[in-house]
Structure 1
Amino acid sequence: MPQIMVACAEGSLRAQVSEMIEGQGYEAWLDASSREEALRILEQDLPRIVLADMMLPAGGGLRLLQDIEQSQLPVAAILLSPVCSYDYVHQALQSGAVDYLVYPFEPRELAQALRRAEKRCGMLEGNHRLVLYMMQLFNDMHAIKPHELLERQEELLRHIFRSKHKYGGVREMYIRMLHMKWMHKLEPYELWSETGETQMELLKLKLSKDEDAARHYFQQIAEHWLEQSAKLHGPNRRLLMKMACLYINENYKQEFTLTQISERYGMSVSYFSKQFKHYSGDTLVNYVNKIRIQKAKRLLMHPQLKIYEVAHEVGYSTLQYFNRVFKQFEKATPLEYRRKIGL
C-alpha cells in the first residue's frame, strides 16, 4: 500500500481528508501543515502519493507540485483547492498532478483520484528505483543487522555512482537526499552537528563527485547511528511505546501529527507506526480519537456544557468534525448520546 501524505494548513480539513482516505482502504501515513514541512517529509520519508492543498502556507500546494516535478521525485500528486479555476487546473496538470479536486468533494471523487495516483506510482517506480531503494533502506533500518545496513548503503552508493542518469544533477540530488535522511536520523541524538550552511553545500557537492569520499563519509554516519540506536532501541522499545501512549493521554487536546510524535521518540514515521500499532493495537489517529471521545462522554454528562464547548475542550477545532468522529465511535451524535443517558 503506498505511503500517502496530506499537506494542508487547516487541521480540521487535514483530518477530514485523512479520514476519507482511510475510508477508501488506504492509510494517510503522513501529514504536513506547510510547504516547508512537506518538502522535509518528502526528503526524509518519500511518500508515494501527496495530496496538496492550494492554500498551503509558504507558496501553496501548486508550488509544492512544482518542487516535486523539478526534483523528479517518484511521487504522484493530487491538488486540492477551494475553487474551480481553469488556470489552476492547467498549472496543476503542467506540474504533473494526476488530479484536481475541489473541496468539499465526494468519496467517489477521491477514490478515482487515488486510483489514478496508484497507476502513476507504478509508472514512476522503474524511473527512480534508487530513491525507492533508499526509502526502503531507512524503513528497514531498525529491523536489519548492522553489517547488512552498511552493506546495503554501500550498494546504494555504488548504484548512484554507476548509473547513467537522464537528468542533470540527479546524482547530487541522491546525495543530498541521503544526507538529509541521515541528519534526520541523528537529530534525536544531537550528533553530527553541521559547521555552516556554505561548508555543507560544498561538502555535498564534493561527495556527489567523489565515490570514495562519499562511501567513507556515510559509513561514519551509519556507525555513529548504530552506536546510539543500540542504546535506545534495544530492550527499551516497549518502554518507548508506553511513553508515547502516556504522552498522548496527557496531551490529547493538542493537535500533533504522526511525524511530530515519531520524531519525538527518534524513529521514522513508518517504523513508529508499525511499533505503535503492535503495542496499542490501533493507529495513532484512532488512538487519539478514542481518548478524546471517552473524555467527551464524561463532559457530556454535565448538561450545563454546550456541545461545541465539549468539542473544543477535548481538542476538536470544529463541531462538524467532532460530531462525525463521535458518531463513528458511539453510533450516535453527541446530542443523541445525551438523550440516551437521560439528559
Structure 2
Amino acid sequence: MDADLLVEMALREPTEELLTPERLRELAERGERLVHYIGFEVSGLVHLGTGLISMQKVADLQRAGVETQVFLADYHSWINKKLGGDLSTIRRVAGGYFKEALRVSLRIAGGDPDRTRFLMGSEVYEKLGLDYFTSVVKVSMETTLSRVRRSITILGRKEAEALSFAQLLYVPMQVADIFSLGVNVAHGGMDQRKAHVIAIDIGEKAFGYKPVALHHHLLPGLSLDQEAWKRLVEAKSSGNKEEFTGILADVKMSKSKPETAIFIHDSEEEVRRKIMQAFCPAGEVELNPVLEIARYIIFRNRSEPFEVINKKTGERLVFSSYRELEEKFRARKVHPLDLKAAVAEELARILEPARKHFTEGPGRNFLEDLREIRITR
C-alpha cells in the first residue's frame, strides 16, 4: 500500500480531522490490513450530506486500497426511535431504500459500490453473539457514565433531555461496533467525534489496538438563519472545535427538516427552488450554504470550468477553481442570485443519475416504499 497516497486521500476534503495522520501512515508502512467502516442510522430520505459527502470519503479510501464497509445501524436506529421506533420497518428501509441510496451516492462520488461491504447491524450481532456483548461490556467498563452522557449528542439530542436507559447503551454499542468488526479506520461526520475518541482512548487497553478516526465536514442546512450563522462563524474563529461542532450539528442539513436539505433524487425544480431560497449573504464566504455546495460537491472532481452568468448584464464569469469563485464572491463581484442559479443548474446535473435511478429505474420501488412509511425525526 502506498502510504503517501493513503494519507493524501484520507486528508482530502471533505475531511475535517484525521486522528492521526502519523498513526495511519505507520499502519500502512507496517503493511497492516486497513479496514474502514462508517455507520448510519436508518431513517428518512438521503440528502447531500448523508449521501455524497459521506461517500466521497469512502471513494477516496477505496482508491487508496482500504477495505471499505457501510454499517446499517438498525439497532441504533431503533434505540433512537427512528421510523416510529419500529425495528421491522427500520430493517425493511435499511435493506431497501437506504442501502440503494448510499450505493448510488457512492457511484456518483466516484467510488465502486460493489467494492464496499454493506452490513446490517442485527446480522452482525447475531453472527458474533456473546462476543459482541462482551465487547459492549468491555467498553462500558472503561467508560464513565458522565462521558457517555456527554457523548449522546450523537443521537441528535441534548444532554439535558430525558433519556431512556437504552439510549445510554448507544455509545458503548457504537464503540463496540468498531472493535467487533476489526476496524482500524473509523469514519463518520464531525458529530461522531466523541464516540470515536472514546474508541481511541480505550482501544489499547480493552482491545489491543487504537483505531484511526476520520471525520468529514457537515454541510449546514440551506435555511440557516443570520443568528445561527453568526454563532457558527464566531465558534469557528475561536478555535473551539467542540462548540463549533455542537452548533453545526444543530443546524446541519437534515432529513427531518426537508427545506434545509437537498435529497439526492430531488427533481430539477426542487433543487432549483431550494437553492434559490437558501441563506446566502452577499460577500460572506464562511459557512455559506450555497458556497459549501460549490466547494464540496460541484468542484470536488471537476475538470471543466464553472460558469456564473450575471443576469443583469449578461457577463459570463468563468472559474477554474473554487478559490477563484470564493475570492470573487467575497469581493462582491458575484451576486448571490447569480451564484444560486449556477449552483442549482450544476447540482441538478450532478444528481441526474440518482434522480433517474429513483424515478425511472430500479430504485423507484424502494423510494415509493419509503414514502409510504411515516418518517420521524
Same fold (TM over 0.5): no
Q: Return the index of the structure with the highest Cα Rg.
A: 1
Q: TM-score range by the shorter chain?
A: 0.3 to 0.5
Larger proportion of strand? 2
Greater RCO between the two (CA within 8 Å, min separation 6)? 2
**What TM-score do the two structures reach when normalised by structure 1?**
0.33
